[in-house]
Amino acid sequence: MGRVPCCDNNGLKKGPWTPEEDLKLINHIQIHGPGNWRALPKSAGLERCGKSCRLRWTNYLRPDIKRGRFSLEEEDIIIQLHSILGNKWSAIAARLPGRTDNEIKNYWNTHIRKRLLRMGIDPVTHAPRLDLLDMSSILRSVLGNPSLLNMQGLLGAHVLMNQGFMNLSATASLLSIKNDENPNLASQNYAQSQGAPPQDLTQFQRPVEGFSGNLSCSSSPPLSSTPDLGENENLVLQQNQVGLLGNYPALVHSMNNASQNMGFDSSSTYVKRGVEEEKDSFCGDLFEFEIPESFDIGDIFCSVPQTF
C-alpha cells in the first residue's frame, strides 16, 4: 500500500492560489525562510498542504524567477541540453537561471516539441525522422540513378540508421544491379548494410572501455560546456538532416515530399495530436550508435567526412 497523499486530509484547499494566499506564503518565507514545508501551512495560516506551498513557491513566487517568454538563446540552450539530458527538466533548469523545471517542461511540450516535429526531427532522439520518408519515391529515385547508391557516402550511414532502412537500401542496390556499371558496388552496399563497417567511420566504432552511452546525430554545434553530466549520461547529438543528405537531391526531394504528405509543410501550424504522438513513438531507435564517454563532441564536427 502506498503512502497516504499529503493532501488527503479534507478541508485543505486545492486549485489556483489567491493573491491573499500568495501574500501569506511570501510573508512567512521572508521571515522564516523556505523549508519544513509540512509544517509551513499551519504556521503561515494557509489551508494548503505543504507540497502545494512548496510548488507555489518554487514555480511561481520565488523572487529570482524570470517571467515572460523564452528568448531564442534560451530556447537554443534548452534544445541542446534536452538532446543531452533528455527529460531531466530539473537538470536543464539548473543551467537556465531564473527558469523553473515546470516552466521549461511546459515550454518544451507546447512550443519546442511541436516545432521539432514540424521540422521532421524526432523530439526524443533529436534525429531526423526517417519514418516520415516516402520510401517508395526514394526507391524510385535511387533506382533511376544508380550513382546515388553509394550509401557509404551517407556519412557511413549504416552505423547511423536502423537495420530496416539499411536493408531497404540494400534491396535497392540489388534491384538496380542490372543497371549498374559496377556490380560490385551493389554487393558492397549490401555487405555494409549487413554489418561491415564503412572505413570512414570506424573511428567512431572502436569499443572503449567503460563507455555505455548512446550517441545519435546532431545538427547543433556542441555545447561549449556541459558540466556535471552523470558518468553514464547518454550523449545524444543532433544530425543536420540537410547536411547529411544535402548532396543527395533526390533524397532531399523525397524527404520534402514525405514531410508534405504527412502534413509537415512549412505553412501548416500544427499537427493533430494523435498523429503527432503516434509518429513520436515510432522512431526512437534511429540514428543511434555507441561512443566512448570521454569522446569529445567537438571532434565529430571536425572529423565527419565531408566527401558525400
Partner DNA sequence: AACGTCCTCAACCGCTGTAGA
Partner DNA sequence: ATCTACAGCGGTTGAGGACGT
Positions touching DNA (CB under 7 A) are 2-3, 5, 7, 13-17, 35-39, 48, 50-52, 54-56, 58-60, 87-91, 101-103, 105-107, 109-111, 114, 269-270, 272-273
Helix (H) or strand (E) holding 214: strand 214-215
Q: Which CB sits closer to DNA, 40 or 149?
A: 40
Buried b (16+ CB within 10 A) or exposed e, 42-73: eebebebbbebbbbbbbeebeeeeeeeebeee
Pick 90 or 203: Cβ nearer DNA: 90
| Nearest CB to DNA, comparing residues 109 and 261 | 109
**Closest CB 5 distance from DNA, rounded Å:** 5
In angstroms, give the least distance from the CB of 43 to DNA. 12
Q: Which is nearer to DNA, 102 or 214 (CB)?
A: 102
CB 59 within 8 A of CB 102: yes
State the nearest-atom distance from the C-beta of 110 to DNA, in Å. Answer: 4
In which residue are the cell numbers 524567477 written?
65
CB of residue 166 to DNA, shortest distance in Å: 30
Instruction: Tell me whether residue 65 or residue 135 sits nearer to DNA (CB atom).
Output: 65
Minimum gap (Å) between residue 2 Cβ and DNA: 5
Task: Name residue 176's amino acid.
Answer: S
Residue whose grid cell is 501574500? 23
Q: Is 289 helix (H, G, I), strand (E, B) or coil?
A: strand
Q: Give the contacts of 119 (CB within 8 A, at least 6 positions apart).
A: 264
